[in-house]
Structure 1
Amino acid sequence: MIRNYFKIAFRNLWRHRSFAMLNIGGLAIGMTAGFLIFLYVSFELEYDDFHTKGNRIYRVITDVKTPTETMTVSNTSWAFAPHLEREFPEIESAVRINYLSMLVQHGEKKYNEDQSFAADSAFFKIFDFKLLKGNKNTCLQAPFSLVLSETAAQKYFGDQDPMGKTLKILEEGYPVRITGIMEDIPENSHIKGNMVLSMTTFTQSIDKDDDPDNEWGNFVPSAYVLLRKGTIASALEKKFSGFIDKKVGQSLSIDQMSYSLFLEPLDKIHLWSDRGSNDKGNINNIYVFSVIAVFILLIACINFVNLTTARSVERAREVGIRKVIGAKRSQLVMQFVGESLIISILAFFITLVSTRLSLPYFNQLAGKNMDTHFTFSVSHIFTLLCVALFIGILSGIYPAFILSAYRASRVLKGKFSGSSRGILLRKGLVISQFVIAIGLIIGTIVVHHQMHFMQSRDIGFNKNQVLVMNTGVNHAQKAFKQNLESIPGIASVSLTSAFPGWSNNIAYSQIENNNGDFQKANIGIYFVDFKFIRQFELKIIAGRPFSEKFATDTTQAIILNEKAVKSLGYNKPENVIGKRFEQWGREGEVIGVIKDFNFTSLQNEISPLSLRIEPSRTNFMAALINSEDIPATIKKIEDKWDVFLPQKPFTYFFLDEYFDRQYRSEIRFGRLFLSFSILAIFISCLGLLGLVSYSTLQRKREIGIRKVVGASVTGIVNLLSLQFVKLVAIAFLIASPLIGLVMHYWLNNFAYRISMEWWVFAAGGIIALFIALVTVSFQAVKAAMANPVKSLKTE
């Protein structure tokens, strides 16, 4: 019997090949989109879960409070990690990680290694980054020890064994010994790097005069602790305040500051943390994509039901004949559910193939590197198969029960007609599809409008045609700058310690406030030269800019932004001019105020910032290019670089491209949102096409009569289209308030954001209506132009 069911099912699919291809294709597209989203979500949720001790690993994060503000940072001071390990028996081990941009030399070749970091010796004991060669307990113990990833080892040593060999690092050319080779760090790790330098290289050798292990105020490294089994993190956190009071309580009290330490679980860092880099994930985006995946699969199921019921008239006589010769309803239900399962299994295999083919493009779109091993793991394939079977059963049950319920006597007499409840259900399903489709269209418009706003908004400074180079602080920097200024096509060259988009230093400052008192605060600081303000087109709104005419500008002057002035209690920026300040070893007065500019992403509010002239700390050089032949100008810059800075490889980037990298995750989110929205709309159109087919089939005699009595093609098309326009209108009324709430919540992630105006919703409705009319018109025109004789000859 089962064999007979399969034979009938395949014969039926082959007889109606167009219908079968439409049904299987729509389901496969939906499953492929859903599977890709499932892989993306799984990849994000599995960040850092490969560490066997992960449930005991925590990142130490800090709140730094002053009378003015509270800074929430993802790192700690140099001293916290080693002292926490010694003071608290609940902590089994601690490690600091300090990310580096390191100059590395091997023979005559030099590289800037941005993907590198220094770590304490416990790094490989806490984290499960697999060592292929070397001892995890000792490889980072001695100063000038270095562990390479497989990729880095191949880059520098080819097929040779790197163990025991040396490389030179930093501009000073310190020799470091290769003490270990590790597997490449997995893509879904928030800790990334190809080189791990021993932390003792800095704490015991290079920076030994400063004793970083007892530096409590310099917040640079990230700190992680491994708690002993049974330790409750929240209980340990409560003990930290006493520890801080004991170590630095007196000095913090004098400075009117306080530290608060918290333990952040390792598995929460990537998606849930509100601290850290712009490259981290966003759990809200994961929720959005998960919902989209469910919606796409739901649309595919609805599409399946509509296309199946659209053919119910054709199969009604088959059911009648089978019932006459003795078929039971349960047997018919099994047959139709079985056909549904065959379609879903065929879609399953097509999904595997299409996923394999589309994976490289999806990785590029999502900015991920999900390999085939991850994608086609047994667990993922099994999950996809279960989803396919579930969709097959779920989608097949309703048509199976409807078709098997036809009365043989009525069907064989030609009196079959669909029930009003069935028609209402199908219309309800189409409304559901277009609620989702309209919501996705409006959501896509909002996302891209916000991205455009972020990239085109006046951010208060010039970022165009600015080429940035990391020269480092050295004796040749001044001569190199002077020679660049003589190159035709370069309008200006300035020096700075940071630039918009780059993480700037935070300086403990005391500035005279509106009451005449010294107000203590942590304020961002840029060390710049005299040309910085003019070159970046920052606007002076009070006082004056730095000037070489005033000798004291290099020793006793500071410029603040508007935000800093407001935090000091001044209502007018001019009132802060001449006020005293103390900051990082310098005393003097405020000489100017610049208009606020967005030196970080628009996701963050502008924070207080100060500018000081201090050439000894300006390691970046920014050249403003006004040449039309940019490649030729860059070549001239490189030639000068080779003369004055031969010890460093020439690297550069353009500021506008670098600044816009802050929005990479949002841009990728927008692209993914758009791509899956298009797929969802396409599948919705297939479902609508199914309902149109069903409707025209039910009304073909009515259409024939109307044509005989003189109805025009346009009139018939309007007749068939009107009911679907109503469905789209209902869907629009339902979708608009729902998606409005969702996108309002999403926009709250941005400090500077658009407002959702009425035209956004109107545009979404118009686009959806246009798509629906195109879909409906295709089948309606076909029905209206059919020969009425064929539809009336049986009457």
Structure 2
Amino acid sequence: MIKNYLKIAFRNLWRHRVFSFINILGLTVGMTACFLIFLYVKFELSYDKFNSKAANIYRLNTDIKTPSETINTSVTAWPFAPNIKREFPEVETFTRVNNGSFLVRKGDAKFQEDNTLFADSTFFDVFDIKMLKGDPKKALKDMFSIVFTEDAAKKYFGNEDPIGKQVLLTGDGIPSTVTGIIQNIPENSILKGDMLVSMSTLTQHLNKGLDQQWGNFGATSFLLLKPGVDPRAMEKKFPDFIERNNGKERKESQMFYTFTLEPLKDIYLLSTRDGNKLGNMNNVDIFSIIAVFILLIACINFINLTTARSSERAKEVGIRKVVGAAKSQVARQFIGESVILCIIAFLLTVLLSVLLLPLFNKLAGKVVSHGIFTNWQYLLLLFSAAIGIGVLAGAYPALILSSFKPVVVLKGRFATGTKGILLRKGLVIAQFSISVVLIIATLVVYSQMSYMRKRDLGFSKDQMLVVSTQGDPARFALKNAVNSLPNVKSTALSSSVPGSGNPGAYSEIENKKGDLQIANLDLYFVDWNYIPQYKIKMVAGRSFSKDFGTDTTQAMVVNESVTKLLGYSSPQEAVGRKFKQWGREGKIIGVMQDFHFRSLQQPIKPLTMRIEPDGCDLLSVNITGGNVPATLASIEKKWKEMIPNRPFSYFFMDEFFDRQYRGEERFGNLFLNFAILAIFISCLGLLGLASYSTMQRTKEIGVRKVLGASVTNITALLSSDFIKLVLIAIVIASPLAYIGMHKWLEGFAYRTSVSWWVFLLAALTAIFIALFTVSFQAIKAAVANPVKSLRSE
């Protein structure tokens, strides 16, 4: 019986191979897209879940309330975590990490290791980073201990065993011992580092006494709680702990803070602390919805084409029933054919996924999977989904076909019912509603990306080369030497450039009432040339000038946001007001126009600038557009003459700043590609239905041609029904797309609007796609010889 079912199934699939091909192709493309999105979503949701104790690991966050604002930060003061471990029995252990950058030398090899992490000796008690060589209990215990990742170790030691060997750290050449080699930190971790340096190196040597500085916030602290501990109950105990250890200093500084515990597993996708997002849960949700949409469209195609062809197999069903076939047997036959199609689509999906995975990883900007066979459970899930799709998608057609009455069918009076026609039309509307939503969403995404790239940032980033000197003493001489090179317009030193991040500084600034208002303000250390070189506009007062000797010690320039924070109605009112900041006192000499020194996803924050040459380590070089390679070579030559012990490291300001939007650009590219796939699958279904509709109306077309209908008349006749369905889809999809994209845009502090032209363009695009798809078959039928179609009459 089964052999007979299979023989009939394959014979029927081959006989109607065009429709079978469309069905298999649609399912394959849909399942492949869905599977790749599934890999992406699983990867995004897997961040830090490889840690066996992840459920009990929490980041200790701080909310700092000042008279001006509340700062939600992910760091704590350095002494807090060790003292919490000492006073709270709920805490099994803790570890602190801090980002760093080190010049590392071994012989002739020298690298600036920007991805460095300072870490406590308990780091490996908290996180499951596999130690390949060395003792995880002792590796980060002593000062000047280093743990390299596999790849980093090979840079310095090749295949040599590095344990116990020494490298030189910093420009001073501090001998440091390699005490461990770990596997490369997994990409799905919020911790990024090629080299770990013992925390005692920082707290007992590089910044001695840091562990006693209760007001110095800079440590990212993780607590490993004992099983069963309620983190919310523990948070309620923190205020007393803070008051005991730091109550007096809090009152004096008027900076009141509270602690919260954030689950490690939530940080990547859900945390918005420090104004930054590591991942984006909205994007994960959007791609999950797209995956469902694509699979739904593929299933709709299958149901549509199968039910449309049901009348062709009516006599087959009638004969089967006459010779004794039960309704359940007929249903199983057609569900079996559906499952066979899905199994073929599954095999092709596996092949296509293998071929497309490297390209998909590139589009995603990360290795979401090293191979689809690394997790056989995923393939089993895909196979189960294929079988499920086959059964569910084939169930309705099977029930329709198996319910035919043999007497009616064999007399030739069977015709497709009104319910079947309405179902197909409804499914086509659903398909194109999804497609129109995706078209509108794609246009809005790219409109926002364009808006962000073209928006006036308030500073000049073109032809700006930034060289990182890492604070080398020769940077001042280098600046003067580079300034004299041809094709160099100007140079400036600073502690930060837009997009690079900058420290917050405890500040007291005179407000409109005449009081010194406490605030935590972003701070740039700059030299005299910085503001004019970056073409930052002054809206009140003046910029720094060598003509005023006090500018080096008693002057500050602020942006417009600072004046608004202090309550001034105009920037001019802030000029001449007093300030105290990090041991300096003086007056505000000028107000800058607000400029975007952070991503457009964040609102412009208050910013201060002071002349502080010793705090500047970034050299900005404004170069001409001609012969950039030669200019770079000249600058590198000067570097090697003056700072020979450091590798030459530079970046172009425009590329560096735009890097902040790389995640959004990748999201846009992925979105576009999957939207195209969804539209392609919809077109396949429309093509199949148009082909079937045209075949059903062959004789009608022949009669119309004999009576004088033109090719245009017939094409319009066959296309009009489908265009009406697309127009209904546009009406349904437009408000849904508007609501969804309006919510997505709320994630940007500076954003474009959802314009009317987006809906018009999406509607025209959908109509054009539908017309192009349907007219191909319509024209083919219209130009056919009517004699052939009427010969059987």
TM-score, structure 1 normalization: 0.98
Partner of 2:14: 14
Task: Supply the distance in 2 between the matched residues of 1:779 and 1:407 (Cα, whole angstroms).
Answer: 33
Do the aligned partners of residues 55 and 556 (structure 1) sit closer, same or farther apart at CA in structure 2, a change above 3 Å counting?
A: same
Task: Supply the distance in 1 between the matched residues of 2:18 and 2:424 (Cα, whole angstroms).
Answer: 21
Task: Supply the distance in 2 between the matched residues of 1:402 and 1:689 (Cα, whole angstroms).
Answer: 23
Partner of 2:144: 144
Cα offsets for 1:557-604 (capped at 9, x unmatched):
000100001111100111111111110010010000000001001111
Contact 2:275 2:602 in 1 (8 A): no
Task: Supply the distance in 1 between the matched residues of 2:405 and 2:692 (Cα, whole angstroms).
Answer: 20
CA apart distance, 1:309 = 2.6
Task: Supply the distance in 2 between the matched residues of 1:628 and 1:417 (Cα, whole angstroms).
Answer: 75
CA apart distance, 1:205 = 2.2
Does residue 89 (structure 1) correspond to residue 89 (structure 2)? The answer is: yes
CA apart distance, 1:276 = 5.3
Partner of 2:669: 671
Partner of 1:159: 159
Cα offsets for 1:349-408 (capped at 9, x unmatched):
111111010001000001111333566412101110111111111111112122223333
Cα offsets for 1:144-176 (capped at 9, x unmatched):
111111111222211111111111111111111
What is the Cα-based RMSD across aligned positions, in Å? 1.3
CA apart distance, 1:413 = 3.4
Task: Supply the distance in 1 between the matched residues of 2:442 and 2:410 (Cα, whole angstroms).
Answer: 50
Partner of 2:170: 170
Partner of 1:456: 454
More deviation in 729-738 or 81-90? Answer: 81-90
Partner of 2:185: 185
Contact 1:310 1:693 in 2 (8 A): no
More deviation in 366-375 or 603-612? Answer: 366-375
Partner of 1:498: 496
Contact 2:506 2:581 in 1 (8 A): yes
Partner of 2:557: 559
Of 681, 684, 690, which residue of structure 2 is paired with 1:683?
681
Task: Supply the distance in 2 between the matched residues of 1:70 and 1:224 (Cα, whole angstroms).
Answer: 22
Partner of 1:226: 224
Q: Percent sequence identity over matched residues?
A: 54
Of 261, 264, 269, which residue of structure 2 is paired with 1:263?
261
Partner of 1:660: 658
Amino acid at match of 2:139: C
Task: Supply the distance in 2 between the matched residues of 1:550 and 1:509 (Cα, whole angstroms).
Answer: 23
Contact 2:39 2:369 in 1 (8 A): no
Of 516, 519, 522, which residue of structure 2 is paired with 1:518?
516
Structure 1, unaligned runs of 5 or more = none
Cα offsets for 1:282-323 (capped at 9, x unmatched):
111111110100000000000111222333233223223323
Alignment: residue pair count: 793
Contact 1:33 1:676 in 2 (8 A): yes
Cα offsets for 1:227-264 (capped at 9, x unmatched):
11221100111111111112222111122111111100
Partner of 1:323: 321
Cα offsets for 1:533-552 (capped at 9, x unmatched):
00101000000010011110
Contact 1:278 1:662 in 2 (8 A): no
Task: Supply the distance in 2 between the matched residues of 1:288 and 1:153 (Cα, whole angstroms).
Answer: 40
State the SS of the aligned residue for 1:687: helix
Task: Supply the distance in 2 between the matched residues of 1:779 and 1:473 (Cα, whole angstroms).
Answer: 70
More deviation in 419-428 or 362-371? Answer: 362-371
Task: Supply the distance in 2 between the matched residues of 1:643 and 1:355 (Cα, whole angstroms).
Answer: 52
Contact 1:512 1:519 in 2 (8 A): yes
Contact 1:39 1:375 in 2 (8 A): no
Does residue 204 (structure 1) correspond to residue 204 (structure 2)? The answer is: yes
Partner of 2:772: 774
Partner of 1:125: 125
Do the aligned partners of residues 66 and 746 (structure 1) sit closer, same or farther apart at CA in structure 2, a change above 3 Å counting?
A: same
State the SS of the aligned residue for 1:178: strand
Task: Supply the distance in 2 between the matched residues of 1:334 and 1:593 (Cα, whole angstroms).
Answer: 79
Amino acid at match of 1:438: V
CA apart distance, 1:745 = 0.8
Of 199, 211, 216, which residue of structure 2 is paired with 1:213?
211
Partner of 1:430: 428
Contact 2:498 2:657 in 1 (8 A): yes
Contact 2:90 2:225 in 1 (8 A): yes
Does residue 579 (structure 1) correspond to residue 570 (structure 2)? The answer is: no
Q: How does 1:620-699 map to 2 (within 5 A)?
A: 620-699=618-697
Contact 1:24 1:346 in 2 (8 A): yes
State the SS of the aligned residue for 1:164: coil
Amino acid at match of 2:28: A
Partner of 1:397: 395
Amino acid at match of 2:141: Q
Partner of 1:371: 369
Task: Supply the distance in 1 between the matched residues of 2:703 and 2:404 (Cα, whole angstroms).
Answer: 27
Amino acid at match of 1:698: Q
Partner of 1:727: 725
Contact 1:144 1:201 in 2 (8 A): yes
Contact 1:95 1:120 in 2 (8 A): yes
Partner of 1:254: 252
Amino acid at match of 1:609: L
Task: Supply the distance in 1 between the matched residues of 2:326 and 2:374 (Cα, whole angstroms).
Answer: 41
Task: Supply the distance in 1 between the matched residues of 2:346 and 2:92 (Cα, whole angstroms).
Answer: 48
Partner of 1:60: 60
Contact 1:563 1:606 in 2 (8 A): yes
CA apart distance, 1:700 = 2.1
Partner of 1:104: 104
Contact 1:46 1:188 in 2 (8 A): yes
CA apart distance, 1:137 = 1.1
Of 615, 618, 627, which residue of structure 2 is paired with 1:617?
615
Contact 1:60 1:261 in 2 (8 A): yes
CA apart distance, 1:3 = 1.2
Of 275, 281, 284, which residue of structure 2 is paired with 1:283?
281
Task: Supply the distance in 1 between the matched residues of 2:373 and 2:670 (Cα, whole angstroms).
Answer: 18
State the SS of the aligned residue for 2:599: coil
Do the aligned partners of residues 374 and 588 (structure 1) sit closer, same or farther apart at CA in structure 2, a change above 3 Å counting?
A: farther
More deviation in 250-259 or 745-754? Answer: 250-259
Amino acid at match of 1:417: A
Contact 1:627 1:633 in 2 (8 A): no
More deviation in 405-414 or 88-97? Answer: 405-414
Cα offsets for 1:688-717 (capped at 9, x unmatched):
112212322332222221111111110011
Partner of 1:301: 299
Task: Supply the distance in 2 between the matched residues of 1:292 and 1:128 (Cα, whole angstroms).
Answer: 34
More deviation in 704-713 or 398-407? Answer: 398-407
Amino acid at match of 1:378: W
Do the aligned partners of residues 155 and 277 (structure 1) sit closer, same or farther apart at CA in structure 2, a change above 3 Å counting?
A: farther
State the SS of the aligned residue for 2:217: coil
Task: Supply the distance in 1 between the matched residues of 2:294 and 2:629 (Cα, whole angstroms).
Answer: 46
Task: Supply the distance in 2 between the matched residues of 1:585 and 1:390 (Cα, whole angstroms).
Answer: 70
Do the aligned partners of residues 31 and 421 (structure 1) sit closer, same or farther apart at CA in structure 2, a change above 3 Å counting?
A: same
Contact 1:58 1:226 in 2 (8 A): yes
Cα offsets for 1:394-432 (capped at 9, x unmatched):
111112122223333333333332111100000000000
More deviation in 646-655 or 4-13? Answer: 4-13
Task: Supply the distance in 2 between the matched residues of 1:278 and 1:727 (Cα, whole angstroms).
Answer: 44
CA apart distance, 1:86 = 1.4
